[in-house]
Structures are given as structure tokens and as C-alpha cells.
Structure 1
Amino acid sequence: MIDDLHPVLSGLRPLSQLRHPREMIRQFTPNWFAATMGTGILALALPQVPDIGPALLPVGRALWLFNIALFALFSVLYAARWILFTDEARRIFGHNTVSMFIGTIPMGLATIINGCLAFGIGLFGAGIVGVAEVLWWLDVTMSLVCGVMIPYLMFTRQDHSLDAMTAVWLLPVVAAEVAGASGGLLAPHLAAGPGLIVITTSYVLWAYSVPVALSILAVLILRMALHRLPNESMAASAWLALGPIGTGALGMLLLGADAPAILGAHGLATIGTIANGLGAIAGLTLWGFGLWWLVLATLITLRYWRAGIPFNLGWWGYTFPLGVYTVATFRLGTTFHIAFFGWAGTLLTVTLALMWLLVGGKTLAGAWRGNLFVSPCIAKPN
């Protein structure tokens, strides 16, 4: 009888699935930062729900503060891994999949920066804008490096094949456009000179990322047509493609809205007007592309879930891509003054919140037991 209860009782003890609590640090990977992406984007989406947004503002604010604590905790754990287990931590650069998740670190930070502007000003005053600006430039630096160095390692050090390709290839590349969209939120809060620098940098970040991401998507469609769907452990990767599409649309909408005032203050009013129009059309066009992928990803997910799939940290891929597409939907509603986008955004927000609760609950349970602390790159020597 006692033996029968042992698995249940062991599950009640923290980190019971690890040989030693120190394994939590040794096995910690950047995959965990995907949780900060999903949490952060839900926090930003909630206050934008039409009619009830003000009532949801305190919930979004609380999630943002929680996300800061989460990001800080993960940063400490990952830094500790590099300090205590340097040789093993370095192996990430040779791993085909885990290395891609380095891109989740700057993207998780971007949600915190956006929250500084959406929630922080009301809580701490205008002084937090300076903090957001410093963090944004840090985010830009990490995104630029990640967007080139991970693909470089793919070309020179890692072993890839078309049949093994998944949408995680997008993660290091998309970080730059996420930073660009954040720049669109930051620029209006800055003085004329810094605002111009931020908005021009953000356009460069968009161009640095979106065309490459769309190229990867073209190859990904070919891969799925030739080799069917990835294995069940990568089920959530079907949603990752929605990330660069939704972020690309949001970035164009935000930057286009900023352009008339910021560029006009520097004698570039005509360019600002053109940028505003192009931003609206580009955002709407990309949103339409995203709608196609949203339906496709839903069908793929239903197929996976009918067969039954085990939980892993990759499930956070269901949240952030859907979240940025949701925020882009709300932005289209305010840009074109069409109620449909508000209704669609509300439905997407409800779906996002339910998915966050599901994935968050499973992550909390897995973290408590310790079975989610797994570093595949340790088992693969360079």
C-alpha cells in the first residue's frame, strides 16, 4: 500500500523528480523565458478589450508585475547555470533546437518594456520612461546579435535537415521585429531627437527581421507539404509562425501612427503621412495573412490534441503568437474604426487567457515536481 502511494506522495514534494535541487540550475534552459512572453502579452492585451478594458487594467498590471518577477528569477537561474556549469551551458550553441530559444530572452524583455509604458507610467510616474528607453536599447542589442549569430551557428556548426525543420527556426530572427514594435510604443514618449532615432531604428529592426521570417515560413510550408507535421513534442510550433506575422502587422501599425508627428517635427511631414498610410495597409495585409495561418494552426492543433500529446515547455508557443496577433487586431480596430476587429480581438483575448491558464497551470505543476527542468543539449556533446 505504501509503495502504491509513493508516486503520489513524491509528487507533493518540490523538485521530487530531480536527483538534487542543484539540477534545477544545471538543467535550466532559455525555453523558460517563453513563459514571460506569454504572460507579458496577456497583460498587454487585457486592457485593450473594448468596453471592459478599464476593468481589466488592474489584472493586466498585476500580470506585468508578476512577469517582472518571473523574468528576474529566470535570469538569475540562467546566469547561475553559466557560472556554475559553464562547459555544459556552452553546449547550447551546438544544439539544433534549444539554441533557437535564446531568442525568447529579448522577446520576454520586450513585454516588460511595453508594460513600463502601459502600466508603469501610471504606477511610478513619467520617470519610468527613461528606464524603458535604457532597457529598449539593451533589447535591441540582444535582438540584433541573436538574429544573426544563431543563424550563423546553424550554417557553420549545427546539423539541420529539411525534414527535421520546425517553426522554432523563427525564434532568434523574430526578436528584432518584436523590439521594433516596442520602439513604436516608446517613441511617442520621448523628446523629438531621441524619438526620431528610436522610430528609424525600429523600421530597420522590422526590415532586419520580417523578410527573413517570411522566407523561413515559405520553406516551412514546403517542409510540411513534403514531410507532414513534426512529431508530437513540437505540436505547439505550428503557432509560432503567427508570431512574426502578428508582430509585423503590429509594428507597421504602431510605427505608422508615430510617423506623422515625429517625422513632421523634423521637416519630414510628407514622409510621415506616407508612412502612416503604408503602415495601415501593411498591417491590414499582414493581418489577413495571419488569419490564414490562424485557421491552419487551429486545424493542426485539433489533429494533435485528438491523438493526445504530452505537455512540455513548448506549449507556451500557443500563447505569445496568438497574443501579438490579438493586439494587432485591436490596433486595426482603432486605426480603421471597424467594430469587427474589436469583437474578433475580444474572442482572441478570451482564447489567449484560457490557454495561459492551462499552460501556466501545467508549468507550475511541472516546475514543482522538477520534471520540466531538462536540458537536451547536455546529452549532446559538441
Structure 2
Amino acid sequence: MVMTQALAPPLRAFGPQWHSAVMGTAIVANGASALPVRAPGLHAFAVAMWMLSFVLLLSVSAVRCAHMLTHWDEAKAQLLDRPSNAVFYGCPPMALLAVGQGTLVLGPDVIGAHAAVAVDAVLWSLGAVYAMAVACGIPYLMVTRWRMEGGAVPGWLLPVVAPMVAAALGPSLVPHLPPGQAQATMLYACYAMFGAGLLCTLLLLPGIWSGLARGGLEPITLTPTLFLVLGPLGQSTTAMNQLADVSATAVPDRAAAMEALPVLYGVPVMGFALVWLAVAASANVRAMRKGMPFAMTWWAYTFPVGTCVTGAAGLARHTGLHVFTGMALALYALLLAAWLVVAARTVRGVWTGELL
């Protein structure tokens, strides 16, 4: 009874933002698998990180289910009455999608190829439907229910970038579908989700920049969310690469045009991503010098950077240029360093009760 009462307050406050830890861990595994180089122990490390992300997904999802069953009023309030919490509903579908991709690519060594495909098919399907529901539902609440004060903030990107993640990770399932209609439908569905994520992002970015230029980010713990802008940039580049890889299989008559898109689209976008990375990193160094405390927003240092790793790796594959290989390796080193710091601080925060 005493233990139940002690756990009740932390459980009541448990929100969807905890899935960001799953996303950040899964992208470490997926990024290692995507790197255009092979090093001793890299594959084993990627498999271990995927397994950790799978355990985290099950654990966080179980606690979220318990939270919704025992504190439905709080869960409802998080979604309907607190915009700052509601935008994090974009995290659960991305967690499902990222872990599913890791299962497909890295899982066969552990659970077998057929089981890996089946698990990813389930996780991708759940994640894609969830992503589209969030991408539609959160903007609807912004328009009809909430009265947003101030300008847009980078966190607003979380719900709308989720379909982009589905678009980037869905093509891996195309070769496992029956040839013809099934493969083509999957490919075009991913293009449609790519469009949904991209156009919603383009709709929000001017407002985000305007808000940042006028008033910055308050409180200071929101500064890491500047890295969220990298998410749609890296993920859209990854999507273009992945879609091009399977175009010859799904729609051979249109493959030539689709295979040109990764370079024509991805190179300029990754150029902007590097500029934004410099801006976001500089702002965060400044915030840390001012004593920015640790918060779950620090997980923004991981997944968005990881999408740039997979985007650069895809460009290295399609252009053959060593500069993109070097970019992917440098970004992965940054991702790994960020994950080590943030994961350690999260474990410490949970252990001491600071985050619960």
C-alpha cells in the first residue's frame, strides 16, 4: 500500500515525452546500421542498442498504459488542455517506427528473418496510423480548442514530422510485399506521408523562426528543442534515399525519375541542416554556460541528429562522394556522445526522482 502511494504521483505525471528516450536509443542502433563503413564490433553494438530500444519501448508503453488506466483525467488533460504536453504525442508513433526499423534491419540475428519482418510490419502499421492521427489531431486542436500565446516553437514540429518518419521507414518493407499493386501502393503511400510531413513543416518553420527571432525560447530548458528542426530535414533526406532504393522494384517505369530525387532534394536540404546544426549547437552552448538544468528536452539532441546521420549515409550511397561518408561518421560521433550524456543523466534523474 505504501509503495502504491509512493508511485502514484510519478505515475500521474508520466507523459508521452518519455517515448523520446526510446526514439533516441533506437536511432543510435539504426544510425550505426546505416553508416557507409563497416568496423569491427559495429554491427554487434547496433544489435545491442536495438535490443535496448525494444525493451525501453515495451517498458515506457506499459507505464503509459498504466497511466491512462489509472489517471485518465490527467492523460486527457495532457492532450486536450496542455499544448506544451500535447505536442509530445508525436513521440510515441516515431518510437514505434524507429524500433520497427531496427527490428527489420538488426532483428534477424536475434529473432529470425520472418519474425523480424512480421514485427516491423506490425510496428510500422501502428506507427503510421498513429502518426497520421497525431498529425491531423494536434493541428486541429491548435485551431479549434487552444489559444496559443506567443509565436510557434520548435516543439510544434513533433506531431507533423511523425508521418515523415513513416515515409522514411516504410520503403524497407516494400521488397517483402507481393509484387505489383501491393508494392506500388506502399511506395506511393510513403510519398503521400512524405508530402504531408514536408508541407506541414514548411507551414510551421516561418512561424518558428519569427517566434525565435522576436523572443527566443523561454524557459531556458526549451533550448535543446532547437535541434528538433533537424528532424524533418534529415528525415526527409532519408525518405528520399529510401524511396529511391525501392523504386525500381515497385514502379520500374518511374524509377529513373525517383532515383534522381535524393541528390536533387537531399544535398540542398543537408546543407541547410548543417547551418541549423551550427545555430542550434551555439545556442545550447550559451544556455549551458548560463546553467541550463537537465530536462527531458535534452533528448532532442539525439533523434534529430540521428536522422541527419541516415540522410548523409544515404547521400553517400547515391553519390559515391567520400564527403558524405565523412559527414555521416562525424554526425554519428556527435549522436553517440549526446546519447551517452543524456541517457546517463536520465538514469540518474529517474534514480533520484528528479524526473518523476
**What TM-score does the superposition give when structure 1 sets the normalisation length?**
0.88
More moved, 122-131 vs 84-93: 122-131
Counterpart CA distance in 2 for 1:55 and 1:188 is 28
| 2:341 is the counterpart of 1:358 | yes
- Residues 36 and 317, structure 2, Cα contact 8 Å, conserved in 1: no
User: By how many angstroms is 1:197 displaced?
Assistant: 2.0
* Superposition misfits of 4+ residues, deviation over 2 angstroms: 47-55, 121-126, 188-191, 228-231
| 2:167 is the counterpart of 1:180 | yes
The 3-state SS of whatever aligns with 2:6 is coil
> Which structure would you say has the larger RCO, counting Cα contacts within 8 Å and 6 or more residues apart?
1
Q: Report the equivalent of 1:315.
A: 298
Q: How has the CA–CA distance of structure 1 residues 38 and 203 changed in structure 2, closer, same or farther, with 3 Å as cutoff?
A: same
Q: Report the equivalent of 2:153.
A: 166
| 2:52 is the counterpart of 1:69 | no
Q: Report the equivalent of 1:113.
A: 100
**1:214-363 residue pairs with structure 2 within 5 A?**
214-264=202-252, 269=253, 271-363=254-346
> Which has the greater radius of gyration?
1
Q: Deviations over 1:114-160 (max 9, x none)?
A: 11221112332321212212221111110110001011111122221
Where does structure 2 lack aligned partners over 5 or more consecutive residues? none
Counterpart CA distance in 2 for 1:352 and 1:38 is 9
Counterpart CA distance in 2 for 1:218 and 1:53 is 41
Aligned length: 351
Match of 1:138 among 126, 145, 149: 126
User: By how many angstroms is 1:295 displaced?
Assistant: 1.4
- Residues 250 and 324, structure 1, Cα contact 8 Å, conserved in 2: yes
Counterpart CA distance in 2 for 1:226 and 1:311 is 25
| 2:24 is the counterpart of 1:24 | no
Q: Report the equivalent of 2:30.
A: 44
- Residues 47 and 53, structure 1, Cα contact 8 Å, conserved in 2: no
Match of 1:92 among 59, 78, 84: 78
Counterpart CA distance in 1 for 2:33 and 2:244 is 22
The 3-state SS of whatever aligns with 1:158 is coil
Q: Report the aligned-residue RMSD.
A: 1.7
Q: Deviations over 1:335-368 (max 9, x none)?
A: 1001111111111111111110100001001111
**What TM-score does the superposition give when structure 2 sets the normalisation length?**
0.94
Counterpart CA distance in 2 for 1:116 and 1:192 is 23
- Residues 38 and 316, structure 1, Cα contact 8 Å, conserved in 2: yes
Counterpart CA distance in 2 for 1:153 and 1:229 is 22
Taking only the aligned residue pairs, the percentage that are identical comes to 30
Amino acid at match of 2:50: W
